[in-house]
């Protein structure tokens, strides 16, 4: 399918709409469509003809400059050989009314989808004194041949109130991979193991040493459906007992446990990525000299579940960390972790990733929209 996207400006200009247009273009292209982002000189605010047309509009009466730029744009749109033209904001914002008018003509022969991010006529910050006259009246009218899509129910209600036309809602999305800025090895691990889709991802930064009490983590993870337990370290090459402990753990672990160092050597940058990827720090050590991972997790905003032993329990306020018995019942601890995972911070994160990742938006909204008439 041939798809074109239109807005006033584009990346690398930083803006909410510009970011959405760029993401839509990438998603459509990744799905195998032929995508064009329209860059039209006459749409630039510093284009001489557009400046003349805007001066006429500001004076309250479109004149020859407006007609000339409108005609030039209408010819360009008529020559487009596309199946769908996505129009972002131009139909509901007053920044280039000649383009808005030209698009109304283009909609007679081309399938157009008007994407409503903002509505000037519903925003008191905009002074629009001539809405009863053309071309301003187009901002509060719905073209019968154009399909309208709003980014929220709030925008959809405002559009219906102005025009009497209902429209579909397609929410905006977020790219968790881009925001998390994972190193390539961690990103590959996360994609292969579908870590962003898990109910809870526990991170345990630790070498394979018996005092780290990793077996408790393995038993807790086995009792938690939808969990992944990430242990970062490798056996201590200077400690023969560490190799024996590692063999014991391998026999004990379930598919819920991942020994990250078996996949790749974990660098400091990888560890930072794992903190950003995880939902919670799980730190069951029976003994520690200090417990640096608690500080690292706190800096990264992770909730902390930690063994109730010195020195950790004297370093941290008890109301800010969930302490547990390192020799306690794994199933009871798993129930506690499950309750902690229902916290607003973790659930907000899961909601954003599951419902508003761009991959989810494409599958649930954009792909069906392409096939819908």
Report the alpha-carbon distance of residue 259 to residue 247 in Å, rounded.
12
Q: Decide which of 373 and 276 is more confident.
A: 276
pLDDT confidence tier of residue 373, bands split at 50, 70 and 90: low
Count of C-beta atoms within a 10 Å radius of residue 149: 22
Q: Are residues 113 and 99 in the same domain?
A: yes
- Kind and range of the H or E element at 262? helix 260-263
Structural domain range at position 49: 2-173+357-371
pLDDT tens sequence across 172-229 = 999 999 999 999 999 999 999 999 999 999 999 999 999 999 999 999 999 999 999 9
Are the C-beta atoms of residues 142 and 163 closer than 8 Å to each other?
Answer: yes
Q: Are residues 252 and 364 in the same domain?
A: no
Q: Are residues 168 and 182 in the same domain?
A: no
Q: Decide which of 46 and 136 is more confident.
A: 136
Strand ranges inside the chain, DSSP E: 2-6, 34-37, 84-88, 112-116, 147-150, 168-169, 200-204, 227-231, 257-259, 280-283, 304-307, 322-324
Strand ranges inside 190-284, DSSP E: 200-204, 227-231, 257-259, 280-283
What is the number of domains present in the chain?
A: 2
Report the alpha-carbon distance of residue 100 to residue 78 in Å, rounded.
14
Report the alpha-carbon distance of residue 91 to residue 117 in Å, rounded.
10
Q: Are residues 12 and 84 in the same domain?
A: yes
Domain CATH for 166:
3.40.50.2000
pLDDT at position 6 over 80: yes
pLDDT at 257: 96
pLDDT confidence tier of residue 148, bands split at 50, 70 and 90: very high
pLDDT tens sequence across 91-108 = 999 999 999 999 999 999
Q: Are residues 118 and 219 in the same domain?
A: no
Report the alpha-carbon distance of residue 108 to residue 146 in Å, rounded.
9
Residue 160 tokens, joined: 């219906």
Report the alpha-carbon distance of residue 33 to residue 45 in Å, rounded.
30
Residue 80 tokens, joined: 């487009």
Report the alpha-carbon distance of residue 220 to residue 330 in Å, rounded.
5
Q: Are residues 209 and 249 in the same domain?
A: yes
pLDDT at 35: 97
pLDDT tens sequence across 234-289 = 877 777 788 889 889 988 989 999 999 999 999 999 999 999 999 999 999 999 99
Q: Are residues 276 and 293 in the same domain?
A: yes
pLDDT tens sequence across 27-43 = 999 999 999 999 988 88
Q: Are residues 13 and 118 in the same domain?
A: yes
Mean pLDDT of 140-156: 97
Residue 140 tokens, joined: 């509060």
Q: Are residues 113 and 204 in the same domain?
A: no
- Residue % of the chain over a pLDDT of 70: 99
pLDDT confidence tier of residue 155, bands split at 50, 70 and 90: very high
Q: Are residues 155 and 217 in the same domain?
A: no
Beta bridge partners of 5: 37, 86
Q: Are residues 117 and 236 in the same domain?
A: no
pLDDT at 42: 85
Phi, psi angle pair for 23, to nearest 5°: -70, -40
pLDDT confidence tier of residue 231, bands split at 50, 70 and 90: very high
Phi, psi angle pair for 236, to nearest 5°: -80, 115
pLDDT tens sequence across 47-92 = 888 889 989 988 888 999 999 999 999 999 999 999 999 999 999 9
Q: Are residues 22 and 79 in the same domain?
A: yes
pLDDT tens sequence across 298-331 = 999 999 999 999 999 988 777 789 999 999 999 9
Sheet holding 257-259, edge to edge: 257-259, 227-231, 200-204, 280-283, 304-307, 322-324
∠ CA 126-49-25 to the nearest 5 degrees?
70
Residue 226 tokens, joined: 């939808």
Give the rounded distance of the alpha carbon of 345 from its chain centre: 16
pLDDT at position 356 over 70: yes
């Amino acid at each position: 399918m041939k798809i074109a996207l239109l807005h006033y400006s584009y990346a690398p200009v930083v803006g909410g709409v510009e970011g959405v247009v760029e993401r839509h273009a990438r998603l459509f292209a990744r799905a195998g469509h032929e995508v064009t982002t329209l860059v039209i000189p006459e749409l630039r605010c510093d284009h001489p003809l557009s400046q003349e047309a805007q001066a006429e509009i500001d004076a309250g009466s479109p004149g020859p400059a407006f007609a000339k730029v409108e005609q030039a744009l209408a010819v360009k749109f008529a020559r487009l050989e596309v199946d769908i033209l996505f129009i972002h904001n131009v139909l509901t914002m007053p920044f280039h009314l000649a383009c808005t008018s030209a698009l109304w003509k283009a909609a007679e022969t081309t399938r157009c989808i008007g994407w409503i991010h903002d509505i000037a006529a519903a925003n008191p910050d905009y002074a629009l004194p001539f809405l009863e006259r053309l071309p301003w009246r187009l901002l509060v009218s719905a073209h019968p041949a154009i399909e309208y899509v709003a980014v929220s129910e709030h925008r959809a209600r405002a559009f219906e109130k102005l025009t009497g036309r209902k429209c579909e809602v397609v929410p905006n999305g977020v790219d968790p991979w881009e925001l998390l800025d994972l190193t390539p090895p961690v990103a590959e691990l996360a994609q292969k193991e579908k870590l962003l889709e898990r109910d809870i991802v526990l991170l345990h930064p630790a070498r394979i040493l018996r005092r780290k009490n990793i077996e408790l983590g393995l038993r807790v993870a086995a009792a938690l459906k939808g969990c992944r337990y990430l242990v970062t370290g490798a056996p201590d090459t200077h400690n023969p007992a560490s190799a024996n402990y590692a063999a014991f753990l391998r026999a004990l672990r379930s598919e819920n446990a991942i020994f990250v160092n078996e996949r790749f050597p974990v660098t400091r940058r990888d560890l930072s990525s794992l903190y950003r990827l995880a939902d919670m720090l799980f730190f069951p050590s029976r003994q520690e000299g200090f417990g640096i991972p608690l500080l690292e997790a706190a800096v990264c905003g992770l909730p902390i579940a930690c063994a109730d032993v010195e020195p950790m329990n004297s370093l941290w306020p008890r109301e800010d960390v969930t302490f547990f018995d390192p020799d306690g019942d794994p199933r009871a601890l798993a129930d506690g972790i499950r309750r902690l995972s229902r916290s607003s911070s973790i659930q907000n994160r899961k909601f954003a990733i599951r419902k508003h990742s761009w991959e989810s938006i494409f599958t649930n909204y954009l792909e069906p929209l392409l096939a819908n008439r």
